[in-house]
Amino acid sequence: MRLKKTQTRNVAEHWRHNEAASNHGGQFWTDGQRLYSYALLIGDTVEDPKTARGVKVLRDYSASGRHGFQSMTTSKHVGYARQHADVIDG
């Protein structure tokens, strides 16, 4: 799979549009369906059975999230993705 290189703050927008992308260092990336901070899955796409549309679900790995704090960088990645998610599991 070929990932489009983009600025860190834009990776989650590519996830939103089902496009594969990563930041230049490869720490924040998506295959279009799943969103990763390093090797940690922080976002996924699930099908809504009522609409058959993909719903973007973000796991909140920030200090206040239920999934628990992982790192400052992962918290920043979650923050970038928050505005592009349909559901925040946190």
Tell me the pLDDT tens digit for each residue of 10-27: 999 999 999 999 999 999
- Write the DSSP assignment of 18-84 as a string of letters: T--EEETTSSEEE-SS-EEETTEEEEEEEEETTTTEEEEEEE--STTSTT----HHHHHHHHHHHTT
- Mean pLDDT (whole number) for 54-68: 89
Q: Give the pLDDT confidence score for residue 8 in this predicted structure.
A: 97
Map out the domains of the chain as residue ranges: 4-89
Model's pTM, two decimal places? 0.91
Is residue 58's pLDDT more than 80?
A: yes
Is residue 70's pLDDT more than 90?
A: no
Confidence of residue 51 (pLDDT cuts 50, 70, 90): confident
